[in-house]
Amino acid sequence: MRAFVFPGQGAQTIGMGRELAQAYPAARDVFEQVDDALGEKLSDLIWNGDIETLTLTQNAQPALMAASMAAFRALEAEGINIQDANFVAGHSLGEYSALCAAGSLTLEDTARLLRLRGQAMQEAVPVGIGAMAAILGLDFETVDRIARETAGEEEEVVQAANDNDPAQVVISGHKAAVERAAEAMKAAGAKRALMLPVSAPFHSVLMQPAAAAMADALAGVDIQPPAVPLIANVRAEAVIEPGAIRRLLVEQVTGTVRWRESIANLAEGGVTEFWEIGAGKALSGMIKRIAKDVTVRNIGMPDDVVAVRG
């Protein structure tokens, strides 16, 4: 069994998807359609811009989706389609890419939703108020417990935001609370606690204004049942019903990305092959740390696409 998985924020690079667009007309069409949907040349920023501007949340989210969908369209050109997977999943914004690939959302709607999602998440909390930190070397249960304990001290928010793999959990919330929790986690045995270069406390309850904005936006978008089941971030289990998908996309803004559980559940359910479709290889590393016996393939360049024909 096989799962197609799609990366989230942090994987962006200048030039991503350009070689695919040069090699495959269908991949080039993706970038043109995203440009048209947004009413601007996002492709020019992706291929010729500066990394600081590309990394702005409102740009990175639709850009990473475009790179993933370009790779997916290139796969289709080589005869690989969504029915060649048993499941799809994506990390945070990658969940939208997964739904687009599975035919649940149109490319144009996905681009517009991610632009709005990025803007809403950035605007939800003033710059400097929130923060995120990666905790290395502690399991999720320990991180979650310490976050809850330290948050209660000052009635500030800090929570486990991303359960990425057995040795990496990301926390998110008020800056002071995140710093306090990070110190407590180092005292509890964490190998490292790294403050992340992000501009907002994603996947925390401080994102509630963004969740409300996404609820309004998603209410006006047609969502079809995906061609193959989606493993939803906040449930770590399969979902196909459009109403449930809509609710879970809203919950995802403030909820924990349960990536470790999602991959473990897929592997335990018989998935032996994971294809990371789009920019970077971050998910592949996580997957190998979660399920050591599975095979991981990266699809981000023309050579990667051609290789699947063998």
Q: Catalytic amino acids?
A: 92, 203
Packing angle, helices 175-187 and 140-154, rounded to 10: 130
**Using the 8-state DSSP alphabet, how is residue 206 labeled?**
G
Radius of gyration of the chain (CA): 18
CB atoms near residue 187 (< 10 Å): 10
CA distance 106 to 84: 20
Between CA 160 and CA 171, with CA 166 as vertex, the angle to 5 degrees is: 20
> Which of 103, 15, 135 minimizes the C-alpha distance to 67?
15
CA distance 171 to 132: 5
- In 3-state terms, what secondary structure has residue 131? strand
Q: What residues are paired with 231 via a beta bridge?
A: 238
CA distance 214 to 296: 32
- In 3-state terms, what secondary structure has residue 162? strand
Amino acid at 240: I
Torsion of CA 64, 65, 70, 71, to 10 degrees: 80
CB atoms near residue 14 (< 10 Å): 15
